[in-house]
Amino acid sequence: MTKELEGKVALITGASRGIGKAIAIRLAALGAKVVINYLQQDEKAQQVLNDISAIGGIALLKKADVSDGTAVKTMFSEVKKELGKVDILVNNAGITRDTFLLRMTDNDWDAVINTDLRGVYLCTKQALRSMIEQSWGRIINIASPAGLLGNAGQSNYSAAKAGIIAFTKSIAREVGALNITVNAIAPGFIVTDMTDKLPQETKDFVLSRIPLKRFGAPEDVANLVAFLVSEQASYITAQIIGVDGGLI
C-alpha cells in the first residue's frame, strides 16, 4: 500500500473501537502517525495501538474527554510535542442517550450535545491553529442520516448531528482559501458494538430499507476517509457524503 500520508499526523477521536478504530488503522497503513483518542476503553484503545504497531505504523494513545475544553487543549499541546502538528482531524467521538423527548432528562440532552457537537467544535478549533499556519489540512466530521432526516427517540442525537452538518459547511467556507478541506460523512447502519445491541426486529426493518440488502462495515467508512484526506480529494469540501447502502 502506498504511504501517501507519510509525514502527516492524524488525530481520530473515539478511536478505541468501531468506526474510529477502522479509520485509525487505515490511516496508519497509509503512513500517517495516528493519535488514538478515547475516553473509557483502555484495553480496547491499547489493542488498536497494538494493531497499528503490528503493521509497522506509529501511534499514540490520548485519553481525553472531547467535551472538556481544557482536556482538548492539553491533548493537542501534548500531541504537538510528541508527534508534531495535527494535519488530519477526524471527529468521530459520539454517544447516544435514546428516549422520547417527554422522557428525556436534561442530562440526556446535555451529554449527547456536549460530546457529539461541542466536541467537534473544540477539537476543530484546536486543529485549525496549526492547519492555518501550514496552509494545509483535512477535517472529517462523522455525522449521521439522523442529522438530515431526524429520528424518533433521538432528538438529542439528531440535533447534534444536524449541528455537525451545518458546522461542517460553515467551517469549510471559512478556511477553504487556506487549502483546508472540511467534509462530513453520514454512515448508515454500520455493524459495531452499538448496533449489535439493537433488537432483531429493528435490524430487519432497517435492512428492508437498504437497496444493497446488507449492513455496512466500519472499513466502508474508513475507505471514504482515506480518500477525502488524500490529494485526490483536494477539490472536495463542504460536502456531506452518505455511506449507507442507499438507505431510504
pLDDT in tens, 168-192: 999 999 999 999 999 999 999 999 8
Length of the chain: 248
pLDDT grade for 35, boundaries at 50, 70 and 90: very high
Which stretches within the chain are classed as H helix?
Answer: 18-29, 42-54, 69-82, 106-112, 119-134, 146-149, 155-175, 193-196, 200-208, 218-228
Question: Is the per-residue pLDDT at 104 higher than 70?
Answer: yes
Question: Is the per-residue pLDDT at 124 higher than 90?
Answer: yes
Mean pLDDT along residues 222-238: 98
Where do the domains of the chain lie, and which CATH numbers do they carry? 9-243 (3.40.50.720)
Question: Is the per-residue pLDDT at 1 higher than 70?
Answer: no
Task: Report the largest interatomic distance among the alpha carbons of the chain, rounded to a whole angstrom.
Answer: 52
Supply the residues annotated as catalytic: 157
Question: Is the per-residue pLDDT at 244 higher than 80?
Answer: yes
